[in-house]
Structure 1
Amino acid sequence: MKKVNESAIDWKAYEREETMFRRKELSSAVDADDLGCSLYELPPGRRSWPYHYHTANEEAIYVLAGDGQLRTEEGLEPLTAGDFVTLPADESGGHRLVNDGEETLRYLAISTMNEPDVTIYPEMEKFGVFVGSPPGGRDERSFHGYYNIDDETSYWDE
Protein backbone atom coordinates (compact mmCIF):
# COMPACT_ATOMS: atom_id res chain seq x y z
CA MET A 1 0.00 0.00 0.00
CA LYS A 2 1.13 3.53 -0.79
CA LYS A 3 -0.48 6.61 0.68
CA VAL A 4 -0.23 10.34 0.00
CA ASN A 5 -2.09 13.38 1.26
CA GLU A 6 -3.18 15.73 -1.51
CA SER A 7 -1.58 18.64 0.36
CA ALA A 8 1.83 17.10 -0.43
CA ILE A 9 1.22 17.28 -4.21
CA ASP A 10 1.81 20.42 -6.25
CA TRP A 11 -0.87 21.81 -8.53
CA LYS A 12 -0.27 21.85 -12.29
CA ALA A 13 -2.04 24.72 -14.01
CA TYR A 14 -3.51 24.50 -17.51
CA GLU A 15 -4.78 27.49 -19.48
CA ARG A 16 -5.70 27.97 -23.11
CA GLU A 17 -8.62 30.08 -24.34
CA GLU A 18 -11.75 29.09 -22.34
CA THR A 19 -9.93 26.12 -20.81
CA MET A 20 -8.42 26.81 -17.40
CA PHE A 21 -8.02 24.49 -14.43
CA ARG A 22 -5.62 23.15 -11.83
CA ARG A 23 -4.82 19.45 -11.40
CA LYS A 24 -3.11 17.25 -8.83
CA GLU A 25 -2.22 13.79 -10.14
CA LEU A 26 -3.02 11.65 -7.10
CA SER A 27 -2.39 8.26 -8.71
CA SER A 28 1.01 9.39 -10.01
CA ALA A 29 2.04 10.32 -6.49
CA VAL A 30 1.58 6.70 -5.35
CA ASP A 31 2.83 5.08 -8.60
CA ALA A 32 -0.53 3.47 -9.39
CA ASP A 33 -0.33 1.34 -12.53
CA ASP A 34 -3.88 0.49 -13.58
CA LEU A 35 -5.92 3.28 -12.03
CA GLY A 36 -5.76 7.01 -12.69
CA CYS A 37 -7.12 9.62 -10.30
CA SER A 38 -6.66 13.38 -10.36
CA LEU A 39 -8.05 16.18 -8.24
CA TYR A 40 -9.25 19.14 -10.33
CA GLU A 41 -10.26 22.70 -9.54
CA LEU A 42 -12.21 24.47 -12.27
CA PRO A 43 -12.75 28.23 -11.67
CA PRO A 44 -16.12 29.92 -12.35
CA GLY A 45 -16.69 30.67 -16.03
CA ARG A 46 -14.09 28.14 -17.24
CA ARG A 47 -14.10 24.74 -18.96
CA SER A 48 -12.03 21.58 -18.57
CA TRP A 49 -10.22 19.62 -21.31
CA PRO A 50 -11.90 20.00 -24.73
CA TYR A 51 -14.89 17.73 -25.38
CA HIS A 52 -13.59 14.18 -25.96
CA TYR A 53 -14.05 10.47 -25.41
CA HIS A 54 -11.68 7.55 -25.07
CA THR A 55 -11.87 4.27 -26.96
CA ALA A 56 -9.96 2.18 -24.39
CA ASN A 57 -10.43 3.91 -21.02
CA GLU A 58 -13.53 4.30 -18.93
CA GLU A 59 -13.65 7.43 -16.80
CA ALA A 60 -15.69 8.65 -13.85
CA ILE A 61 -16.20 11.99 -12.16
CA TYR A 62 -17.06 12.60 -8.52
CA VAL A 63 -17.97 16.19 -7.60
CA LEU A 64 -16.54 17.26 -4.23
CA ALA A 65 -17.68 20.90 -4.13
CA GLY A 66 -19.38 23.51 -6.29
CA ASP A 67 -21.87 23.35 -9.13
CA GLY A 68 -21.44 23.14 -12.86
CA GLN A 69 -22.49 21.27 -15.95
CA LEU A 70 -21.28 18.19 -17.76
CA ARG A 71 -21.33 18.53 -21.54
CA THR A 72 -22.28 15.16 -23.04
CA GLU A 73 -23.34 14.00 -26.50
CA GLU A 74 -26.93 14.69 -25.39
CA GLY A 75 -26.29 18.24 -24.14
CA LEU A 76 -25.62 19.77 -20.74
CA GLU A 77 -26.30 17.87 -17.51
CA PRO A 78 -26.23 19.73 -14.16
CA LEU A 79 -23.58 18.69 -11.64
CA THR A 80 -23.49 19.37 -7.91
CA ALA A 81 -21.46 18.21 -4.93
CA GLY A 82 -21.96 14.49 -4.34
CA ASP A 83 -22.72 13.62 -7.98
CA PHE A 84 -20.93 10.60 -9.45
CA VAL A 85 -20.89 10.11 -13.23
CA THR A 86 -19.48 7.24 -15.29
CA LEU A 87 -18.19 7.78 -18.81
CA PRO A 88 -17.90 4.63 -20.96
CA ALA A 89 -14.97 4.05 -23.32
CA ASP A 90 -16.93 4.94 -26.45
CA GLU A 91 -18.78 7.85 -28.06
CA SER A 92 -21.47 7.79 -25.34
CA GLY A 93 -18.74 8.71 -22.83
CA GLY A 94 -17.97 12.05 -24.51
CA HIS A 95 -17.57 14.83 -21.96
CA ARG A 96 -16.35 18.25 -20.92
CA LEU A 97 -16.95 20.01 -17.62
CA VAL A 98 -18.23 23.57 -17.52
CA ASN A 99 -18.25 25.72 -14.40
CA ASP A 100 -21.21 28.06 -14.79
CA GLY A 101 -21.50 28.45 -11.01
CA GLU A 102 -20.10 31.13 -8.74
CA GLU A 103 -17.66 28.93 -6.81
CA THR A 104 -14.73 26.77 -7.84
CA LEU A 105 -15.87 23.35 -9.07
CA ARG A 106 -13.71 20.75 -7.29
CA TYR A 107 -13.87 17.14 -8.48
CA LEU A 108 -12.05 13.84 -8.82
CA ALA A 109 -11.52 12.34 -12.27
CA ILE A 110 -10.92 8.60 -12.13
CA SER A 111 -10.02 6.31 -15.03
CA THR A 112 -8.73 2.97 -16.10
CA MET A 113 -5.21 3.21 -17.54
CA ASN A 114 -5.37 0.94 -20.58
CA GLU A 115 -3.10 1.39 -23.55
CA PRO A 116 -3.04 1.76 -26.41
CA ASP A 117 -5.82 4.33 -26.42
CA VAL A 118 -7.29 6.50 -29.13
CA THR A 119 -8.96 9.65 -27.82
CA ILE A 120 -11.47 11.34 -30.13
CA TYR A 121 -12.06 15.12 -30.05
CA PRO A 122 -15.17 15.49 -32.27
CA GLU A 123 -15.51 19.28 -32.00
CA MET A 124 -11.83 19.80 -32.80
CA GLU A 125 -12.03 17.19 -35.60
CA LYS A 126 -8.93 15.48 -34.20
CA PHE A 127 -7.89 12.28 -32.51
CA GLY A 128 -4.95 11.36 -30.32
CA VAL A 129 -3.08 8.05 -30.28
CA PHE A 130 -1.25 6.90 -27.14
CA VAL A 131 0.98 3.78 -27.10
CA GLY A 132 3.28 2.76 -24.26
CA SER A 133 1.41 4.84 -21.69
CA PRO A 134 -2.26 5.87 -21.71
CA PRO A 135 -3.52 9.47 -21.68
CA GLY A 136 -2.62 10.87 -18.29
CA GLY A 137 0.00 8.12 -17.99
CA ARG A 138 3.31 8.63 -16.31
CA ASP A 139 5.58 6.46 -18.43
CA GLU A 140 7.38 7.41 -21.62
CA ARG A 141 5.32 6.58 -24.70
CA SER A 142 6.68 4.51 -27.56
CA PHE A 143 4.30 6.35 -29.92
CA HIS A 144 1.83 9.20 -29.59
CA GLY A 145 0.43 12.04 -31.63
CA TYR A 146 -2.61 14.09 -32.60
CA TYR A 147 -4.10 13.88 -36.07
CA ASN A 148 -6.92 15.42 -38.09
CA ILE A 149 -9.90 13.09 -38.39
CA ASP A 150 -10.37 13.88 -42.09
CA ASP A 151 -6.77 13.10 -43.04
CA GLU A 152 -6.80 9.99 -45.12
CA THR A 153 -3.99 8.01 -46.64
CA SER A 154 -3.79 4.78 -48.58
CA TYR A 155 -2.23 1.69 -47.12
CA TRP A 156 0.06 1.43 -50.15
CA ASP A 157 1.81 4.46 -51.64
CA GLU A 158 0.53 5.09 -55.14
Structure 2
Amino acid sequence: MPKIDVASVPERRGSDYPTPFDQPVSGRVRQALGKAGGLTDLGVNLMHLPSGQWSSQRHWHTHEEEFVYILSGELILVTGDDEQVLRAGDCAAFPKNVPDGHHLINRQEATAVYLDIGTHSSADACTYSDIDLHAAPEPAGYSHKDGTAYP
Protein backbone atom coordinates (compact mmCIF):
# COMPACT_ATOMS: atom_id res chain seq x y z
CA MET A 1 0.00 0.00 0.00
CA PRO A 2 1.42 3.38 -0.90
CA LYS A 3 2.05 6.10 1.63
CA ILE A 4 -1.07 7.98 2.71
CA ASP A 5 -0.90 11.72 2.07
CA VAL A 6 -2.45 12.90 5.34
CA ALA A 7 -2.89 16.44 4.01
CA SER A 8 -5.18 15.11 1.27
CA VAL A 9 -7.43 13.09 3.61
CA PRO A 10 -10.72 15.00 4.04
CA GLU A 11 -11.52 16.46 7.44
CA ARG A 12 -14.90 15.79 9.02
CA ARG A 13 -16.01 18.24 11.71
CA GLY A 14 -18.47 17.35 14.48
CA SER A 15 -20.55 14.18 14.58
CA ASP A 16 -23.82 12.72 13.35
CA TYR A 17 -25.36 12.57 16.83
CA PRO A 18 -28.91 13.92 16.98
CA THR A 19 -29.36 17.38 18.51
CA PRO A 20 -28.60 18.35 21.29
CA PHE A 21 -26.07 15.52 21.77
CA ASP A 22 -23.93 16.82 18.89
CA GLN A 23 -23.02 20.11 20.61
CA PRO A 24 -20.12 18.99 22.87
CA VAL A 25 -18.39 17.40 19.85
CA SER A 26 -19.18 20.09 17.27
CA GLY A 27 -15.55 21.23 17.00
CA ARG A 28 -13.98 17.77 16.84
CA VAL A 29 -12.07 17.16 13.59
CA ARG A 30 -11.54 13.63 12.24
CA GLN A 31 -9.40 12.40 9.35
CA ALA A 32 -10.16 8.77 8.47
CA LEU A 33 -6.62 7.57 7.71
CA GLY A 34 -7.48 3.88 7.71
CA LYS A 35 -10.31 4.39 5.23
CA ALA A 36 -8.00 6.48 3.03
CA GLY A 37 -5.62 3.52 3.01
CA GLY A 38 -8.33 1.06 2.05
CA LEU A 39 -8.86 -0.56 5.47
CA THR A 40 -12.34 -1.98 6.11
CA ASP A 41 -11.96 -3.95 9.37
CA LEU A 42 -9.94 -1.39 11.31
CA GLY A 43 -10.61 2.31 11.76
CA VAL A 44 -7.62 4.62 12.24
CA ASN A 45 -8.54 8.25 12.74
CA LEU A 46 -6.34 11.28 13.28
CA MET A 47 -8.31 13.44 15.70
CA HIS A 48 -7.98 17.13 16.57
CA LEU A 49 -9.90 18.12 19.70
CA PRO A 50 -10.09 21.86 20.38
CA SER A 51 -10.33 23.38 23.84
CA GLY A 52 -13.62 22.63 25.59
CA GLN A 53 -14.63 19.85 23.19
CA TRP A 54 -15.43 16.18 23.80
CA SER A 55 -14.27 13.23 21.71
CA SER A 56 -17.77 11.73 21.86
CA GLN A 57 -20.63 11.22 24.24
CA ARG A 58 -19.63 8.74 26.96
CA HIS A 59 -20.21 5.29 25.42
CA TRP A 60 -19.25 1.61 25.15
CA HIS A 61 -19.48 -0.94 22.32
CA THR A 62 -20.77 -4.52 22.26
CA HIS A 63 -18.61 -5.79 19.37
CA GLU A 64 -15.93 -3.17 18.72
CA GLU A 65 -12.68 -2.47 20.52
CA GLU A 66 -11.10 0.98 20.75
CA PHE A 67 -7.61 2.32 21.43
CA VAL A 68 -6.43 5.93 21.74
CA TYR A 69 -2.87 7.24 21.61
CA ILE A 70 -2.21 10.88 22.51
CA LEU A 71 0.16 12.64 20.10
CA SER A 72 0.07 16.16 21.58
CA GLY A 73 -1.77 18.11 24.23
CA GLU A 74 -3.60 16.88 27.29
CA LEU A 75 -6.99 15.19 27.56
CA ILE A 76 -9.13 13.95 30.42
CA LEU A 77 -10.30 10.36 30.06
CA VAL A 78 -13.71 10.05 31.72
CA THR A 79 -15.04 6.61 32.62
CA GLY A 80 -17.91 5.49 34.85
CA ASP A 81 -16.40 6.58 38.14
CA ASP A 82 -12.98 7.95 37.29
CA GLU A 83 -11.10 10.70 35.48
CA GLN A 84 -7.48 10.31 34.36
CA VAL A 85 -5.13 12.76 32.64
CA LEU A 86 -3.70 11.56 29.32
CA ARG A 87 -0.72 13.42 27.86
CA ALA A 88 1.43 12.96 24.76
CA GLY A 89 2.73 9.40 24.73
CA ASP A 90 -0.12 8.05 26.89
CA CYS A 91 -2.67 5.57 25.61
CA ALA A 92 -5.84 3.80 26.70
CA ALA A 93 -7.67 0.69 25.52
CA PHE A 94 -11.37 -0.17 25.62
CA PRO A 95 -12.26 -3.85 25.14
CA LYS A 96 -15.59 -4.76 23.56
CA ASN A 97 -18.65 -5.53 25.68
CA VAL A 98 -17.38 -3.89 28.87
CA PRO A 99 -20.26 -1.67 30.07
CA ASP A 100 -18.15 1.22 31.33
CA GLY A 101 -18.69 4.21 29.08
CA HIS A 102 -15.74 6.43 28.21
CA HIS A 103 -14.87 9.63 26.39
CA LEU A 104 -12.17 12.29 26.27
CA ILE A 105 -12.53 15.96 27.20
CA ASN A 106 -10.08 18.76 26.35
CA ARG A 107 -9.97 21.13 29.35
CA GLN A 108 -6.76 22.83 28.17
CA GLU A 109 -6.38 25.89 25.94
CA ALA A 110 -4.46 24.12 23.17
CA THR A 111 -5.95 21.70 20.67
CA ALA A 112 -5.06 18.08 21.49
CA VAL A 113 -4.16 15.60 18.75
CA TYR A 114 -4.58 11.84 19.08
CA LEU A 115 -5.04 8.61 17.16
CA ASP A 116 -8.38 6.85 17.59
CA ILE A 117 -8.13 3.23 16.48
CA GLY A 118 -10.89 0.65 16.52
CA THR A 119 -12.34 -2.45 14.97
CA HIS A 120 -15.47 -2.40 12.81
CA SER A 121 -18.40 -4.80 13.26
CA SER A 122 -21.79 -4.66 11.59
CA ALA A 123 -23.15 -6.46 14.69
CA ASP A 124 -22.03 -3.67 17.03
CA ALA A 125 -24.43 -1.79 19.26
CA CYS A 126 -23.32 1.26 21.20
CA THR A 127 -24.74 2.37 24.53
CA TYR A 128 -24.39 5.98 25.64
CA SER A 129 -24.04 5.97 29.41
CA ASP A 130 -25.26 9.43 30.41
CA ILE A 131 -27.94 10.28 27.84
CA ASP A 132 -31.05 8.84 26.16
CA LEU A 133 -29.20 7.56 23.10
CA HIS A 134 -28.48 4.11 21.71
CA ALA A 135 -26.95 3.03 18.40
CA ALA A 136 -28.27 -0.30 17.13
CA PRO A 137 -26.39 -2.53 14.69
CA GLU A 138 -26.19 -1.32 11.08
CA PRO A 139 -28.27 -0.01 9.38
CA ALA A 140 -30.71 0.86 12.23
CA GLY A 141 -28.81 3.88 13.58
CA TYR A 142 -29.64 6.07 16.58
CA SER A 143 -32.66 5.62 18.81
CA HIS A 144 -33.86 6.48 22.27
CA LYS A 145 -33.05 3.76 24.81
CA ASP A 146 -36.69 2.60 24.59
CA GLY A 147 -36.13 1.87 20.87
CA THR A 148 -37.98 4.91 19.47
CA ALA A 149 -36.04 6.30 16.51
CA TYR A 150 -34.70 9.85 16.46
CA PRO A 151 -36.17 11.97 13.65
The TM-score normalised by the length of structure 1 is: 0.81
Q: Structure 1 residue aligned with 2:24, among 18, 34, 58?
A: 18
Residue 144 of structure 1 corresponds to 140
Residues 42-65 of structure 1: CA distance to partner in whole angstroms, max 9, x if unpaired? 001111211111100000000000
Q: Does the CA contact (< 8 Å) of 1:45 and 1:98 recur in 2?
A: yes
User: Aligned letter for 1:148?
Assistant: H
Q: Which has the higher strand share?
A: 1
Question: How many angstroms apart in 2 are the aligned matches of 1:117 and 1:123?
Answer: 19
Q: Which 10-residue stretch deviates more, 2-11 or 98-107?
A: 2-11
Compared CA separation, residues 148 and 87, structure 1 to 2 (3 A): same
Q: Which runs of 5+ in 1 are unaligned?
A: 132-142, 153-158
Q: Which runs of 5+ in 2 are unaligned?
A: 16-21
The TM-score normalised by the length of structure 2 is: 0.85
Residue 126 of structure 1 corresponds to 133
Residue 81 of structure 1 corresponds to 88
Question: How many angstroms apart in 1 are the aligned matches of 2:8 and 2:76?
Answer: 29
Identity %: 30
Deviation at residue 151 of structure 1 after TM alignment: 4.6
Residue 18 of structure 2 corresponds to none
Q: Does the CA contact (< 8 Å) of 1:23 and 1:40 recur in 2?
A: yes
Alignment partner of 1:50 is 2:57:
yes
Which secondary structure does the structure 1 equivalent of 2:86 belong to? strand
User: Aligned letter for 1:69?
Assistant: I
Question: How many angstroms apart in 1 are the aligned matches of 2:29 and 2:2?
Answer: 24
Deviation at residue 67 of structure 1 after TM alignment: 0.5
Deviation at residue 93 of structure 1 after TM alignment: 5.0
Residue 77 of structure 2 corresponds to 70
Aligned residues: 141
User: Aligned letter for 2:127?
Assistant: I
Compared CA separation, residues 144 and 102, structure 1 to 2 (3 A): same
